[in-house]
Amino acid sequence: MTTVAIIVAAGIIHPIMFGPEGIFFPELFPIAVRFSGVSIGKQFGTVLGGGIAPLVAASLYARYGTTAAITACYFVLAIGAGIALTFAAETRDKALND
């Protein structure tokens, strides 16, 4: 089961999650700050998701003794991401050199 979980996570979920980033994030920034904007955003996301999130999860598990609180926390984060995507600017008709 562990092997299957790793294969599904690394082979299916990870590419679905990170594949669109290469085209989505650069469109959010003007050319003058595009590289810096994407880089800084990615690095802060890595720190928050990779550093703080496991500590929060461990704290929730220690306090409530169940993974339901962790699931609820990640569900709230997913809703927040959905809201952020809803308000992201559409760049389909915008020139790339702006």
- Count structural domains, the chain: 1
Domain of 62, in residue numbers: 2-87
Question: In this structure, is the dihedral angle defined by the CA atoms of residues 3, 61, 57 and 85, taken in order, positive or negative?
Answer: positive
In-domain check, residue 95: no
What is the structure's pLDDT at 95?
76
Phi/psi region, residue 30 (left: phi>0; alpha: psi -120 to 50; beta: rest), is beta
Q: What is the gyration radius of the CA atoms in the chain, in angstroms?
A: 17
For the cut 70, the answer to whether the pLDDT of residue 98 exceeds it is: no
Reported as a single tens digit per residue, the pLDDT across 27-72 is 888 888 888 989 998 898 888 888 888 899 999 999 999 999 999 9
In-domain check, residue 97: no
What is the structure's pLDDT at 3?
94
In-domain check, residue 94: no
In-domain check, residue 40: yes
CA–CA separation, 58 and 65 (whole Å): 10
For the cut 80, the answer to whether the pLDDT of residue 73 exceeds it is: yes
Q: How many helices (H) and strands (E) in the chain? A: 6, 0
What is the structure's pLDDT at 27?
85
In-domain check, residue 96: no
Structure tokens belonging to residue 39:
């880089």
State the average pLDDT for the chain: 88
